[in-house]
A and B are shown apart, each in its own frame.
Chain A
Amino acid sequence: MPADVSVIDLAKHYRVHEKDAGLKGSLRAFFARRYRTVKAVDGVSFSLAPGERVGFLGPNGAGKTTTLKVLSGLLHPTSGEIQVLGHTPHRRESAFLRRFTLVMGQKQQLLWDLPAVETFLINKAVYEIPAEAYAQTLKELDDLLELGPLLRKQVRKLSLGERMKCELAAALLHRPQVLLLDEPTIGLDVTMQVRIRDFIAEYNARHGATVILTSHYMADVTALCERVIVIDKGHLLYDGDFRSLAERLAPYKVVKLRLPHPALGERLADFGELVSNDGLNAVLRVPRARAGETAARLLGQIEVDDVTFEDPPVEDVIRDVFAGGLEARA
């Protein structure tokens, strides 16, 4: 099967001006600009088969969003061969634009002052969606996302999570085959994150759409993606199965404890690496493989008010591992 997305040796360089802090720095930058080339993406290659769900990981500024923007034709690549659905994205051919979507958790297309359905109607006309297909898609999205009454409320009166559901619906009305999702769950509470995640999985299963997802939440990637691509400083560091990456990158779990009195904190170091402890709140790192056993031992020996076991944030893990010089190669 031919690839839906194929990227060969993509590079995107920006020229940015630098300025030192303070008024003096600003004045100097105003009169004599110093420019520097930033290599946001530098020699990245990968390809996706139709229907694949891939997680894009990397610290802030790694080049994830830049790559997605090149794939959606917003940015012209500095060099490289990029094909999405057989098109060169930055030519922005209508046939291409009709077949993919880009959802950005940080930016919204919904009209702020009007109910979401007004934006939907504009997208219906923009994408020339026939009335029948529109009604059918809207019904399906309504079922999956439980939009119901949200569609008739002014967007400015919706909660962040409600708005994200409507954003997703607006972005999917034209039944795109390729979904580029940049932080679609950012700022949402856990329940809503799960809803959005389930929806993406269901949409992918029903329509066989290809999905690329970036997220700060490891759980998003865990739940949705078998394959991950890790980039850092514009370079590709890992492309492969998620499970081996998670073990490689996050060999520990984070335990957060609330204690009834400070004295107990002293003994915590026996259970794992003590990250922080202010007396009543403590954070521990315990090896992933022994998490269950450690939990049992901990609860048996120490009186706690509350305890949670979490995966560390993706960005932390990636930073830790990369800083530790661990070899992570496909």
Chain B
Amino acid sequence: MLKYLRLFALFVKSSILMELEYRANFIAQGTLGTLYAGISVVTVLLVFSQTDRLGGWSLDQGLVVVGIFIAFDGLTESFIQPNIRKLIDGIRTGTFDFTLLKPVDSQFMTMFRYMRLNGLMDFAAGVVVIVIALSRLGLPVSALQVLTFLVTLVMAALIIYALQLMLATSAFWFVKVDNFTEAFRALYDTARYPVSAFRGLTRLTLTVIVPIAFMTTVPAQALLGMLDGALLAGSLAFGLGLTALSVALWRRALRSYSSASS
């Protein structure tokens, strides 16, 4: 465990060194990230300029969802996307070999080897949005709310991580899967709104089939004291279940690795 923490720190350090190699790119990425976060907030403000409530959520409650959306978007951009891109590329060109040659868990090595700083701007922006929304609501937040918030948040992170990893893992069979990860992006965009803003079948799909609801809405509900036991159970089930599934799929995929070219 200690070894893996130390490795993670080293990976982050080496990634930061790489980012600093290209100054102009670094600045451009940071600016774009902030802009993108701004757009997310504006979209939700626009929706609420037409209506007071969205799926039973007030503007400030809705902003908590947006804040979580932006923060996770930033973390994905920083910690997941760079690794997914390297993985898909590595499978196509065969440099994934080097990951398999190392005496370190290959899934860990694949998912945490690279990070980029650009998403950290979004992450910070997301946290700011949540704090502003909470202070405008002026509600007391109990210890239980904070605890369930953290639990559902960790589960949400696991769901996001596992889904993207599974999509990328399919590259072991299909090789070129850049569009699969685009599909995740498009689905994740719906997580910007509380899931109750959607009706009937769509809502059901976003809760049960593609667990978008558990990524942003459910953690927001936990923080706002709107969570019930069933949702908490669902969050745990999806978080742990999908993680286990992604590990199983990964193991299966390694058997299919064909190591391109010589």
Cβ of B100 within 8 Å of any chain A Cβ, yes or no, is: yes
Contact flags (1/0) for B185-210 with A, using CB distance below 8 Å? 00000000000000000000000000
Taking a contact as CB atoms closer than 8 A, the residue among B11, B93, B103, B106 that contacts A127 in the complex is B103
Q: Is the interface of B mostly helix, strand, loop or mixed?
A: helix
Residues of A118-166 at the interface with B, using a CB-CB cut-off of 8 Å, are 118, 121-122, 125-128, 154
Give the chain B neighbours of A104 by CB distance below 8 A: 97, 262
* B18 engages A126 (CB within 8 Å): no
Residues of B56-100 at the interface with A, using a CB-CB cut-off of 8 Å, are 93-95, 97-98, 100
Give the chain A neighbours of B95 by CB distance below 8 A: 107-109
Residues of B219-262 at the interface with A, using a CB-CB cut-off of 8 Å, are 255, 257-259, 261-262
Taking a contact as CB atoms closer than 8 A, the residue among A102, A118, A128, A154 that contacts B97 in the complex is A102
A188 to B225, CA, bound (A): 66
Give the chain B neighbours of A106 by CB distance below 8 A: 261-262
A97 to B257, CA, bound (A): 18
CB-CB under 8 A for A74 and B14, given A107-B94, A107-B95? no
Cβ of A19 within 8 Å of any chain B Cβ, yes or no, is: no
Contact flags (1/0) for A30-68 with B, using CB distance below 8 Å? 000000000000000000000000000000000011000
B18 to chain A, nearest CB (A): 5
Chain A interface size range: 20 to 34
Residues of B169-196 at the interface with A, using a CB-CB cut-off of 8 Å, are none
Q: Which residue of A lies closest to B98 (CB)?
A: A109
A122 to B93, CA, bound (A): 22
* B103 engages A114 (CB within 8 Å): no
Give the chain A neighbours of B258 by CB distance below 8 A: 14, 75
Q: Which residue of B lies closest to A90 (CB)?
A: B255
* A97 engages B103 (CB within 8 Å): yes
CB-CB under 8 A for A92 and B100, given A75-B257, A126-B7? yes
A108 to B102, CA, bound (A): 14
- Chain A CB count within 10 A is highest, among B10, B93, B100, B106, for B100
Give the chain A neighbours of B3 by CB distance below 8 A: 125, 128
A288 to chain B, nearest CB (A): 30
Cβ of B6 within 8 Å of any chain A Cβ, yes or no, is: yes
A113 to B6, CA, bound (A): 22
Residues of B143-161 at the interface with A, using a CB-CB cut-off of 8 Å, are none
Q: Which residue of A lies closest to B106 (CB)?
A: A92
* B94 engages A122 (CB within 8 Å): no
Give the chain A neighbours of B261 by CB distance below 8 A: 106-107
* A126 engages B104 (CB within 8 Å): yes
* B103 engages A126 (CB within 8 Å): yes
CB-CB under 8 A for A113 and B262, given A104-B97, A125-B6, A125-B7? no
* B10 engages A114 (CB within 8 Å): no
B174 to chain A, nearest CB (A): 12
Cβ of A177 within 8 Å of any chain B Cβ, yes or no, is: no
Contact flags (1/0) for A63-105 with B, using CB distance below 8 Å? 0110001001111100000000000000010100110011010
* B259 engages A121 (CB within 8 Å): no
Taking a contact as CB atoms closer than 8 A, the residue among B7, B10, B98 that contacts A107 in the complex is B98
Cβ of A111 within 8 Å of any chain B Cβ, yes or no, is: yes
Cβ of B101 within 8 Å of any chain A Cβ, yes or no, is: yes
Q: Which residue of A lies closest to B256 (CB)?
A: A76
Give the chain A neighbours of B1 by CB distance below 8 A: none
A64 to B94, CA, bound (A): 16
- Chain A CB count within 10 A is highest, among B18, B101, B261, for B101
Q: Which residue of A lies closest to B19 (CB)?
A: A113
Q: Which residue of A lies closest to B17 (CB)?
A: A114
Cβ of A183 within 8 Å of any chain B Cβ, yes or no, is: yes
Contact flags (1/0) for B1-45 with A, using CB distance below 8 Å? 001001100110010011001100000000000000000000000
Cβ of A239 within 8 Å of any chain B Cβ, yes or no, is: no
CB-CB under 8 A for A154 and B21, given A74-B257, A98-B103? yes
* B14 engages A111 (CB within 8 Å): yes
Cβ of A220 within 8 Å of any chain B Cβ, yes or no, is: no
A126 to B21, CA, bound (A): 24
* A107 engages B18 (CB within 8 Å): no
* B262 engages A102 (CB within 8 Å): no
Cβ of A182 within 8 Å of any chain B Cβ, yes or no, is: yes
Give the chain B neighbours of A65 by CB distance below 8 A: 262
* B94 engages A126 (CB within 8 Å): no
A126 to B104, CA, bound (A): 7
* A107 engages B97 (CB within 8 Å): yes
Give the chain A neighbours of B7 by CB distance below 8 A: 125-126
- Chain A CB count within 10 A is highest, among B104, B257, B259, for B259
A319 to B97, CA, bound (A): 30
Ordered nearest first, which 10 A-B pairs have the shortest CB separation?
A97-B103, A65-B262, A94-B103, A109-B98, A113-B21, A113-B18, A74-B259, A98-B103, A126-B102, A125-B10
- Which positions in A face B, CB cutoff 8 Å? 14, 64-65, 69, 72-76, 92, 94, 97-98, 101-102, 104, 106-109, 111, 113-114, 118, 121-122, 125-128, 154, 182-183
A-B contact pairs, 8 of them (CB 8 A): A64-B262, A69-B97, A74-B257, A75-B258, A75-B259, A114-B17, A125-B7, A154-B21
- New A-B pairs, 12, CB < 8 Å, besides A98-B103, A107-B261: A69-B259, A75-B258, A76-B255, A97-B101, A104-B97, A107-B97, A108-B95, A109-B98, A118-B14, A121-B14, A127-B103, A128-B3
